Copies of this chain bind each other. A is one copy, B any other.
Amino acid sequence: MLKGLSRAGLGDIGSDERFIALAGEYGFQTVDIDAKGLIDRNGLEGARKLLADSGVTIGSIGLSVEWRASEESFRAGLAKLAEEAAAAAALGCRSCCTYVLPATNDKAAHFAVLATRRLRTCAQILGAYGIRLGLEFVGPHHLRTAWANPFLWTLQETLDWIDAIGEPNVGLLFDAYHWYTNGHTLADISALTPDQIVHVHINDAPDVAVEDVLDNGRLYPGEGVIDLAGFLSALNAIGYKGSVTQEILTASAPTDAPEALLKRSKAGFDKVYTAAGLA
């Protein structure tokens, strides 16, 4: 399993080019960035060289298509999605991810069928380039009532949704925080096959009641109470070989220097990987 970084938790790290360089410097193997932007700025060969020089690959791109709002805005993003998928594929990235809010102001059943069809179309376009689509279920309890109607938030609901979407290249973005806040278990991970997981997020939670954990109250790996050793160990046991990417969402951005935050991140990864017997 590859150690990965997103920008979330690294403060004001600057350009993606600098992000790549620093990620490599601190021993990380993947970064979640905008592949198309990297190529647009550096050319394909330049982008490849930047990544290769730092010894990192792209863990996942984000799904830029607006699949939650109007049909017009959805359609308007599809041509760009094809270009983004082509860029990701050209740089060897095979994952594209989006998150699923656990509630909606729309009528839930209607939103479910619209979103099923829209995400299927996204998956089909991504699939033409060999890219997989990862859906991130979101566990913090407060978000379940942040909009009028409950939507989907558990692992099983998300697996059922993936079945409804029905494309071979759709799977989970499996985030430790959402696994924890949902009260899921190690057995829930062990029941998966690795191809069901497109991408993994890692972060930690404070020592408060699970139902009080806030989505933007995340800690660095190893600084909280989530059983990340068990989490990583279970993922490794089922054969997951992809990226495990840090994503630290906080109420306010950290003000430490990026280098300090990278060092802290590295220490967190080292701690939990070692605890999982994966060091």
Question: Contact residues of A with B, CB < 8 Å?
Answer: 74-76, 78-83, 86, 89, 104, 107-114, 116-117, 120-121, 124-125, 127-129, 149-152, 157, 160-161, 163-164, 166-168, 193-195, 239, 241
Contacts and interface: CB of A to CB of B under 8 A. Distances in A.
B164 A116 contact: yes
Q: What is the interface of chain A mostly: helix, strand, loop, or mixed?
A: helix
Contact of A160 (B76, B82, B114): B114
The 4 tightest CB contacts between A and B, nearest first, are: A195-B195, A79-B82, A112-B112, A239-B239
A113 B161 contact: yes
A35 to B, nearest CB: 14
B117 A166 contact: yes
Nearest to A154: B110
Contacts of A116: 112-113, 116, 164
Given A75-B86, A110-B152, A125-B125, 20 more contacts: A78-B125, A79-B79, A82-B82, A82-B125, A109-B109, A109-B111, A109-B112, A110-B157, A113-B116, A113-B157, A113-B163, A114-B160, A116-B116, A117-B160, A124-B124, A168-B168, A193-B194, A194-B195, A239-B239, A239-B241
Contacts of A149: 108-109
A196 to B, nearest CB: 8
Contacts of A108: 107-109, 112, 149-150
